[in-house]
Amino acid sequence: MKRFVATISLLAALSVFGSPAWSNPDFLQAEPAMTTQFGWNLEPNGMLTIGYDLNHNGRPDFFTVRVVLYKYITGEPIETVARYHPGHPVFRVDYGVKGFYYIAARYPLFYAVDVNEDGHWDVMYQDVLEDGVNGNEEFYDSPSGWLGALPVG
């Protein structure tokens, strides 16, 4: 019963205050501009996760997960490396004069939303064709179990 009341309270609060991540009834929206990213992380599975703070409260609430296509060390600046891989996100970890670069797929393979911003993804969608948000994405999972906690009907 407490979980049901908490879920109803969360839904009521979000309907009043709103969250950009909730603007789409399926929780999915197009990826924000790369320049607005909140941060990025290379995951243990080798994929690159990029977080965004859509409601500008200092906590990421929207994520994309990409395949890393290339990774290498070079002394070239990020602008030069980006020219070698047009249209692909390029990320750098500085090691003094040299940098370790990650070149990711142009479009995400997964999109995730952390509705309550607790650090656990609530809804994930997969874009098998990796062609951006255009309606062919499919629900993939609710890792936090959040969707299973919603009342049915």
Domain ranges, ordered by start, for the chain: 2-67+105-137
Please say if the pLDDT value at position 22 is more than 60.
Answer: no
- Across all residues in the chain, what is the average pLDDT? 84
11 vs 45 pLDDT, higher one: 45
Candidates 77, 79, 65; CA nearest to 130 is 65
**Rounded average pLDDT over 84-99:** 95
Q: Which residues of 86-111 are buried (b: 16+ CB within 10 A; e: fewer)?
A: eebbbbbeeeeeebebbbbbebbbbb
Q: For residue 146, what pLDDT is reported?
A: 84
Percentage of the chain modeled with pLDDT above 70: 80
Show Cβ contacts of residue 38 under 8 Å, excluding neighbours closer than 6 positions: 51, 52, 53, 60
Please say if the pLDDT value at position 11 is more than 50.
Answer: no
19 confidence band (pLDDT: 50, 70, 90) = very low
61 in Cβ contact with 54 (< 8 Å): yes
Burial level of 58, CB count in 10 A (0-12/13-18/19+)? exposed
Percentage of the chain modeled with pLDDT above 90: 72
89 in Cβ contact with 104 (< 8 Å): yes
The one-letter code for the residue type at 70 is Y
151 confidence band (pLDDT: 50, 70, 90) = low
Q: In this predicted model, what pLDDT tens digit does every residue of 110-136 receive, in sequence order?
A: 999 999 999 999 999 999 999 999 989
